[in-house]
Structures are given as C-alpha cells and as structure tokens.
A and B are shown apart, each in its own frame.
Chain A
Amino acid sequence: MSTKQSTLGQLIAALGLDTENEWSHVVRERLVAYALLGLYVFVIWFPIYFIFITSIKPTSAVLDIPISFVPTQPTVSNYVEIFQNRPFELYTLNSLIVASTTTIICVTLGTVTGYSFSRYDFVGNKTLLLSIVGARMIPPIALIVPFFSIMSNPPLVGGLTGSLYDTRIALILTYTFFNLPFAVWIMKNYFDGVPESLDEQARIDGCSRWEGFVKIILPMAKPGIAATAILAFIFSWNEFVFALVLTSSEQAQTLPIAVSLFVADDFVDWAHLAAGGMIAALPGILFGLFFQQYIVSGLTQGAVKE
C-alpha cells in the first residue's frame, strides 16, 4: 500500500499537481471525474464486450478456463450458423415489422392526440389524459393473462379474423397499448412548449387548423417525434415477456425469443446465443446512439420557459 501511495505521489509530483495552486485543483478534480466516468462506462459496456468476444469465439473455446478476454482465434462461424441452422432471418424480419409498425402507429396517433390534448380545451381534457397515462402505470406483468386471453380469442374481431395468437398483429397491438400513452404524453408536453401564437399566425397567414399543424407545428416537433420513435422502437425491439407468451413459432417470434431458444433444458449454446444476442442488440444500440440527442431535447422540451 505504502509503495502504491508513494508511486502515486511521485506521479502527482511529476505532473506538477502537488503544488497548492488553482490549476492543480482543477486538474485533480478532472482526474477524479474521468476515473469515475471511466469506471461507469466500463460497467455498462463490459457485458456487451463480453457477449461480442463470446460470439466470435469457436464453440469449443467459449467455456475455457481461464476466460480469455481477447479472442485468440476470432471467427464469424457462429453468425453464419445461426442463419443456416435456424430461421434467424425470419426472427429479424418479425422484429423489424413489429417494431417499425408499432413505432409508426405510436408516432402518428401520439402526435395528433398529443396535439389535441395540448391545443383543444374540451370537456374532460385533463381527466382523459390522466386516465390514458395512468393506465400505463399498471405493471405489464399483471396484464399478461388478459392479453393472452384476448389475443387467443379476440371478442370484437374474433368472428372475422379468428385467433390473433402467434401473429405479429398480436405483438403490434400489445406494444402499441404500452407505448401509445407515453407517445401521447411526450408529444403533448412537446406541443405545450410550442407557443400557440404560431398556430394562430399560421391561421392568419391562410392555413386551416390541419394545414397549420402539418406545415408549421409538425416540422418544429421533430425532436419530440424522434424521442417518441426511439422509445417505441427500442421497447418493441427488446420486449421479451409478452412476445414469449403471445407467440409460439417463427411466424411471429421476435429476436429476443429467438435468442432465448438457445437455452435448452440441460445445455446452453453460449456461442450461438452470444451471436444472436449481438444481432438482437445492434439495431437498438445504433438507433439509440444515432438519435440520442433528440431523446434529451424531445423529453425536456417545455420543462423550462424559454
């Protein structure tokens, strides 16, 4: 310990940080901040790194002890095999269709509904908004049985379509149910931050209500729309429990379910599971990284008076 301390002391002295001046303070504070942030980044990214290196290890090397954190014989065979041996392209397609459709529905309905809640002072406006957002506060797990029952034997459209069990529609409807309240809430708050005088100016300039919304207000709401889209997409892309309960075959199963199928009763196919996991995680990560600036501006709009 004392050796370590003296080494650190020497380092600090070498960097000129031991003198009690203003700058050494600043530098020391920065060093601590960077160290803490570095630790945090490491904690967050390590599992992803670990899955990645597992996915490019040969199956035989996955369980080697000691664990190698730097792959010695990188291979893409796991990725190739999961597409050859299992219908991974179908799972990916299902995930894409379910997540994209849910996102489009939530953004479209969330935007117009949010705008209405923000601009029209109709009777029951607040109560209705609270009840929509409040319904989302119920823990999803509590709704699994009703959802299973409804999708297996839908009361309203049952006569026309039969069971929705094991269809993408079941997942799209379910994910829309969970995401739409958030979409409405985010968009309502966003529109609250857009001065109403802009709608009015548009009306004076010759727009109908709808034209004003489409030509003036909507282009300004891009960050809010992006935030809504990201949240809806990532939720639908990653959701596992409802997908597990409401689907049973590759005609509707999504990537999270596909990945879980690598876990057998007495054996876990770690290498393929890791490759599947990477494929499942990648779009979400890319989507989030690409649009993250919109999440912040979209969610914080209207928080302070500008």
Chain B
Amino acid sequence: MAHVELNDLVKEFDDVTAVDGISLDIPDESFTVFVGPSGCGKTTTLRLIAGLERATDGEISIGDEVVNDRRAYERDIAMVFQNYALYPHKTVRENMRFGLEQHDTPEDVITERVTEAAELLQIQDLLERKPSELSGGQQQRVALGRAIVRDPAVFLMDEPLSNLDAKLRVQMRAELNKLHEELSTTTVYVTHDQVEAMTLADQIAVMDDGQIQQVGAPTHVYSNPRNMFVAGFLGSPSMNFIEGTLERDSAEKLQLDIGTDTHDIPDEFADELEAYLDDQVVLGIRPENISLNQDGIAANVHPATVQVVEPQGEKTVLELDLDTGQTIKAAVDPDTTVQMGDSVNLRFDRDSLQYFDPQTGESLTYESKSEQKLTA
C-alpha cells in the first residue's frame, strides 16, 4: 500500500499539452477517480503514474519515493486496461502467472496467489481457458485477477468497465467496490462515466483541458461545484444554467432579472453577489431540485411551458420553456400528470441554488456553501 503524490505534473505531446500542471495527493488505501470528457488528460495522467509515458515536467511519487525515472515494472503498480490486454495466446492461468514469473517469484508463492485471486474473483473454472473463450465479464475478472496476484502498492484502472453492457457494468461496479473494501489497495481509476465516478470514489478529481477542476468527496463535488464545468459535467440531466442581470428590487433586496421574470437571491448569498450588482450572473439549479409548484405560493416561482415529457421510471424528466425563452430541464415525481403544452409554475429549491460568474465560469457561492456544509 502506498499513497501517490503528483506535483506540478506536465505532459506535452508535440504542440499539445495533455496534462497541464496537475498537483494531487492520492491517500493510501483510497479509491481516487479521475473523471472528465474525452481528451481531458485523465488517461495520460494515469499512464504517467504507470510509467508508460514520461513526464515533461513535475514529479510523481509512489510511497515516499519519486518514481519519474523508474520503469513501469519498477513502480510496484498493476494496471487494468480498457480492453483488458489479456495475452491471447496464453491461458488464464498463464496470464495471471506471467507478471510474477517475470519478477522471479518462487513457484509456491505464484501458485498460492493465483489460487487465492481465482477464488476471490470466482474464476477457478476458467484457469485453463484462453481469453477468446471467455465472455466480456469473465475477461474483465481475469484482468483484475492478473492485477491482484501482483499484490501491488497501487492499482491503476483505465476505464475498465466501459466495454461491458449496462447490466454487467453495474454488477462489476459493485464488485469493484467490494474488492477495494477487501484489499484496501490504493486505487487510481479513470472514467468518463460520472455515475461510475460517483459510486466508486472516495475522492473524485474532475478534469478538463489537462487540469484538475476540482477534487473532493463525490457528494461534496456534486453539491458544491467550484465552476460551471464541474457543475455541468456531474449529474444527468446536467445542471440548468440561467443567465440574468443582478439588480435590487423595491425592498433593496438582490434579485436576478432573467428577462420577463425575476429570481430572488437568498439573503445568505447577498454578500458574495453584492459586487456583481448590475452585472451578469448565472444561476445554476439541478433538474432534481426543481419542483412543480402546486400549492399556490406566489413567491419565487417561475412560469414555464412543458415542451417534452420523458418518463424514465424512477423519475420523469420535463423539458420546459421558461417565459423568458430559456429552456431548462426538471426531474419530477414519476406520477406527475403534466402533459406537453401545459403551463406550470416551477419552484427552485433554495438550498440547492448556485451562482456563477459568466465570464470566468467560477462559482460565486462555493466558499460560503462549503463553509455552511462544514458548520452543519
């Protein structure tokens, strides 16, 4: 077991900067997930840790040792690739043994570890088969098994579930969780699937453009996004952004003018937003924090017209046109009776409101929301 530390890590390919000065502490025994869209630099970061790419600048430490100049096999890591990378001409047993044999591990230790890992992953019956004779899920287990037998300081996983069908992915996700619980090996995991990231991680690092946008516990990052990218990337359907001008109402309270409608700013955010008076501000609200106002309260409701109704089983997603012309989405009770063309009043949950600077994309309320959370 070991913690991993990245210090100002940079990787350039010709003119492209794939990783742009990343610093991150990956605690011992943690499950850290790098998540972000394609090309954000997450896989390159993982490959830098693995030793499959050489860092242009910066430092990588595993345990307390800087490993920049060490080869992949000298770093005490094991990796699971997206396509599993099982040796097709070797049996499952030979695949699992190969790494240990290369490290001159004694025969009895090899046999013991392969047997244990096979039992743990329930692949004892597959040991004499070739990878081509296995299903996707079985191949995935073998790839995990091959990593486990090495008993490495760090597991590196590059989108290991993305080649599986939806049902199997959910099942393997749970098994990965269980496996981490059992082995407690420091794990660095890369995915573009935010659900995977949220369910697996103790620590999530959202990446974009070669940089880490935000690091933290999944629930914290989800409810307190540092910027519009993180806010928009996590969550499905993604957060709604409504732009307006900040002004004072007749009672001198701050409100957001969003065209034909206004939105009252909760008092607790008044201090942070004061500086943006008469400027543009973006209001962020997640679809699940929007409800249909049915009890006739007039304050802070927003009239809208239902454009599309998408029943999804556990929830129904509505696409709505605000009277201001903006389109937003709301995730509401599946029993809702609203239909296309209906006029509704929307209520935004005040505890879930976010405000952003439209120029920089930075959250204007991140600090105070984080503090509130800590106090609570």
Is A145's CB within 8 Å of the partner chain B? no
Q: Determine chain B's interface SS by DSSP, over half rule.
A: loop
Our pick among A195, A197, A203 for the contact of B71 (Cβ within 8 Å) is: A203
> Count of B residues near A, CB < 8 Å?
20
Q: Are B52 and A206 in contact (CB under 8 A)?
A: no
How many angstroms from the CA of A205 to the CA of B147 in the assembled complex? 9
Closest residue of chain B to A195, judged by CB?
B83
Whether the Cβ atoms of B77 and A204 lie closer than 8 Å is yes
Hey, what's the 0/1 contact readout for B21-55 against A, CB within 8 Å counting as 1? 00000000000000000000000000000111000
**Would A206 and B89 be within 8 Å (CB), given that A197-B81, A200-B81, A201-B81 are in contact?**
no
A205 surroundings in chain B (CB, below 8 A): 73, 98-99, 102
* Contact of A150 with B by CB under 8 A: no
Interface size counted on chain A using CB atoms at 8 A: 13
Q: Does the CB pair B79–A201 fall under 8 Å?
A: yes
- Residue B103 at the chain A interface, CB threshold 8 Å: yes
The residue of chain A having its C-beta at the shortest distance from the C-beta of B52 within the complex is A200
Q: Does B292 contact A (CB under 8 A)?
A: no
> How far in angstroms is the closest Cβ of chain A from B13?
10
Tell me the bound Cα distance from A198 to B131 in angstroms: 13
> Is residue B341 within 8 Å, beta carbon to beta carbon, of the partner chain?
no
Contact of A200 among B78, B85, B88, B103 (CB under 8 A): B85
List, in ascending order, chain A residues with CB within 8 A of B102's CB: 205-207
Find out whether the CB atom of A203 lies under 8 angstroms from the CB atom of B89.
no
Contact A207 B73 (CB under 8 A): yes
What chain B residues lie within 8 Å of A130 (beta carbons)?
A: none
Annotate A173-205 by CB proximity to B: 1 below 8 A, 0 otherwise: 000000000000000000000010110110111
Q: Which residues of B contact A201 (CB under 8 A)?
A: 79, 81, 85, 87
Contact between chains at B99 and A206 (CB < 8 Å)? yes
Whether the pair A206, B85 counts as a contact (CB closer than 8 A) is no
The chain A residue with its CB closest to the CB of B80 is A201
Cβ contact of B83, chosen from A197, A204, A216, cutoff 8 A: A197
Residue A220 is within 8 A (CB to CB) of chain B in the complex = yes
Answer whether residue A219 sits at the interface, using C-beta atoms and an 8 A cutoff.
Answer: yes
At the interface, yes or no: B72 with Cβ under 8 Å from chain A? yes
Within the assembled complex, what's the spacing in Å between the Cα atoms of A206 and B87?
14
Q: Give the residues in chain A near B89, CB-CB below 8 Å.
A: 219-220
In B96-132, which residues have CB < 8 Å from any A CB?
98-99, 102-103
6 A-B pairs with C-beta separation under 8 A: A200-B50, A204-B50, A205-B98, A206-B73, A207-B73, A207-B102
Residue positions of B touching A, CB distance < 8 A? 50-52, 71-73, 77-79, 81-83, 85, 87-89, 98-99, 102-103
Q: A203-B71, A207-B102 are in contact. List 18 more A-B contacts (CB 8 A).
A: A197-B82, A198-B87, A200-B50, A200-B52, A200-B72, A200-B79, A201-B87, A203-B51, A203-B73, A204-B51, A204-B73, A204-B77, A204-B99, A205-B98, A205-B102, A206-B99, A216-B87, A220-B89
